[in-house]
């Protein structure tokens, strides 16, 4: 990934319009990152050395509960940044969650020193960081709301509809679905079998096929009532 071609900045809104005095140290300090799928980007208690901007691909950020069940906090796609990375850099703390590449990823890493320098000298860079942070916080609040206040049935129905995105079938394991909604695999399996008995889905090994989307939408919508 050639960072001398600064077209990558166009993916990050305000960063494309930085003044030369701000753009030069950022581009000069930036480190190109290319990772295959399935790589752990960071894990709890690891030091945070870079502010990472994702240019291509997708990263899943998640935590584990006391029983070892995974809960997906959010995903970072092209043009995105990580709230936990920002918090760790601002507070000079270690990471508190896991991040794994779901696809091959191309990203740009700003060393911690470069990040702090830009936060101090550039109002535009600060605005970009804090606006992105606010948007990601909204994602986290939605996760908390789903887990704390919505039933497993409504969360599962909603997630199935979101993940299929208009497709009729989804290649996913019960364990992966459990991580998506923050519960145990056995709980997801039980509810999926109930959906299958109602004729809403058809189950196969590592596969869920939607048969009737309308009742799933009704169950998902019931969470807001």
Token pair for 114? 């470069």
Q: Is the same domain home to 130 and 64? A: yes
For residue 192, the model assigns a pLDDT of 95
Using alpha carbons, select from 1, 110, 122, 108 the residue that is nearest to residue 48.
Answer: 110
Which of 116, 131, 147 marks a domain boundary? 147
Name the pLDDT band for 65 (thresholds 50, 70, 90).
confident
**Domain enclosing residue 130, as ranges:** 6-147
Q: Is the same domain home to 143 and 159? A: no
pLDDT at 199 over 50: yes
Q: Is the same domain home to 141 and 166? A: no
Largest Cα separation within the chain, whole Å, is: 64
- Residue 105's beta-bridge partner residues? 35
Tens-digit pLDDT profile for residues 106-161: 999 999 999 999 999 899 999 999 988 888 887 778 777 777 667 889 889 988 99
The pTM (predicted TM-score) of the whole model is 0.71
Q: What is each CA distance from 43 to 55, 64, 160, 177, in whole angstroms? A: 21, 11, 28, 21
Q: Is the same domain home to 23 and 119? A: yes
Q: Is the same domain home to 163 and 111? A: no
Chain-centroid distance of CA 149 in Å reads 21
For residue 9, the model assigns a pLDDT of 87
Q: At 26, which CATH number?
A: 2.60.120.10
**Percent of the chain beyond pLDDT 90?**
51
Tens-digit pLDDT profile for residues 14-42: 888 888 888 888 888 899 999 999 999 99
- Rg of the chain taking only CA atoms, in angstroms: 20
Q: Looking at residues 87-103, what average pLDDT do you find?
A: 93
Cα angle 202, 208, 214 (rounded to 5 degrees) comes to 70
**Please, what is the angle between helix 112-121 and helix 123-149, to 10°?**
110
Q: Is the same domain home to 105 and 163? A: no
For residue 225, the model assigns a pLDDT of 47
């Amino acid at each position: 990934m050639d960072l001398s071609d600064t077209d990558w900045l166009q993916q990050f809104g305000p960063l494309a319009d930085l003044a030369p005095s701000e753009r030069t140290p950022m581009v000069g300090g930036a480190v190109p990152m290319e990772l295959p799928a399935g790589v752990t980007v960071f894990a709890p208690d690891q030091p945070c050395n870079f502010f990472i901007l994702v240019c291509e691909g997708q990263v899943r950020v998640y935590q584990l509960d006391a029983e070892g069940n995974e809960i997906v906090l959010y995903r970072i796609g092209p043009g995105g940044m990580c709230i936990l990375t920002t918090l760790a850099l601002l507070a000079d703390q270690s990471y508190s969650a896991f991040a794994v590449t779901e696809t091959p990823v191309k990203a740009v890493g700003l060393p911690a020193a470069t990040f702090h320098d830009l936060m101090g000298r550039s109002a535009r860079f600060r605005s970009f960081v804090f606006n992105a942070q606010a948007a990601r916080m909204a994602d986290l609040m939605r996760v908390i709301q789903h887990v704390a206040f919505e039933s497993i049935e409504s969360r599962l129905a909603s997630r199935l509809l979101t993940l299929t995105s208009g497709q009729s079938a989804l290649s996913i394991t019960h364990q992966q679905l459990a991580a998506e909604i923050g519960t145990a695999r056995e709980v997801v399996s039980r509810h999926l079998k109930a959906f299958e008995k109602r004729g809403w889905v058809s189950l196969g090994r590592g596969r869920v096929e939607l048969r009737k989307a309308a009742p799933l939408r009704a169950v998902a919508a019931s969470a807001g009532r």
